[in-house]
Amino acid sequence: MIGKICVVTGASSGIGRVTALELARKGATVVLIGRSRERTEASRAAIIAQSGNQQVECILADFSALATVRAAAAELLGRYPRLDVLVNNAGVYAEGGQRSADGYELTFAVNHLAPFLLTNLLLDALKAAGAARVVSVSSVAHTSARGAFDERVGLTSGGFWAYGESKLANILFTYELARRLEGSGVTANCLHPGVVRTNLAVGSKGLFTFFFGLMRPLMISPEQGAQTSIYLASSPEVAGVSGSYFTNCQAHASSPVSHDRALQARLWALSERLVAGR
């Protein structure tokens, strides 16, 4: 990975931080995107200390506000004419009633609309690398989703329903993106990291959060959960592989609804409308 430029979102903690650390250990220049200046800078300092790689940078963006996503993309493009890897890792689980700065349901806004916008804004830089990779962190929770995407999807009540739909959206987006990128040299894949001990639901309330807390001792570590992201971002074994869903560094079948091409195209068009002008 020496000479490669890798961007990792949600890199201030959890599997994002571990992913960034391992890419830095492999010699890549790593750009951390995080919401909190204090936490993101602390992550940068720790990664430099642990990896011995000084080429670790930070860019701030709050994925609940699409204007900051645009600003982060502009800052990235100002620094780098090409990007080799984009890991769309940032995610949130929000209970009902929470809205993004743009007025959308918070989970759908952060987990899908923000990475959709960021990826599209960075496509020219990814294509300029010649053999770039887009890696999006989804979840097995997508199997609970029905793909009920319409103009109201950004205004749903939140909770586990919205989380599952957002994770299905990650996969639908990946499959549609992979088709659109055919012949460009850029690949797009997504993954389930496992049930990981992270702060995803910290601060939320409700039944899902209650059970999330109960299950915490049985969950895998962020180090274990990051392995598939690292694999897809860096392994020569998946060079040229695109449009696939991975678990435990192996390709797996995603839910039947995720392969609905009409739904993929409809979600793409809807997402374009929802992020336009934001």
Predicted TM-score of the model (pTM):
0.90
Give the torsion through C-alpha atoms of 172, 178, 181, 183, to 10 deg: -160
Q: What is the pLDDT of residue 95?
A: 81
Condensed to tens digits (0 to 9), the pLDDT of residues 251-272 reads 999 999 999 999 999 999 999 9
Residues 223-226: contacts with CB under 8 Å, at least 24 apart: 223/18, 224/194, 224/196, 225/14, 225/15, 225/18, 225/193, 225/194, 225/196, 225/198, 226/15, 226/16, 226/18, 226/19, 226/22, 226/193
What residues in the chain have per-residue pLDDT under 70? 150-158, 194-220
β-bridge pairing 244-247 and 250-252: antiparallel
Domains and CATH numbers, the chain: 5-275 (3.40.50.720)
How does DSSP assign the chain, residue by residue?
-TT-EEEEESTTSHHHHHHHHHHHHTT-EEEEEES-HHHHHHHHHHHHHHH----EEEEE--TT-HHHHHHHHHHHHHH-S--SEEEE-------TT-B-TTSSBHHHIIIIIHHHHHHHHTHHHHHHTSS-EEEEE--GGGGG-----STTGGGS--HHHHHHHHHHHHHHHHHHHHHHTTTSS-EEEEEE--SB-SSTTTT--SHHHHHHHHHGGGSBPHHHHTHHHHHHHH-GGGTT--SEEEETTEEE---GGGG-HHHHHHHHHHHHHHHTT-
Q: What is the pLDDT of residue 190?
A: 98
Q: What is the pLDDT of residue 277?
A: 79
Condensed to tens digits (0 to 9), the pLDDT of residues 35-80 reads 999 999 999 999 999 999 999 999 999 999 999 999 999 999 999 9
Q: Are 173 and 138 in contact (CB under 8 A)?
A: no
Residue 156 backbone zone (phi > 0: left; psi -120 to 50: alpha; other: beta): beta
Structure-block tokens of residue 256: 């039947």
Q: What is the pLDDT of residue 214?
A: 43
Kindly tell me the burial class for residue 194, based on how many C-beta atoms sit within 10 Å of its own C-beta (0-12, 13-18, 19 or more).
Answer: buried
State the catalytic residues: 163
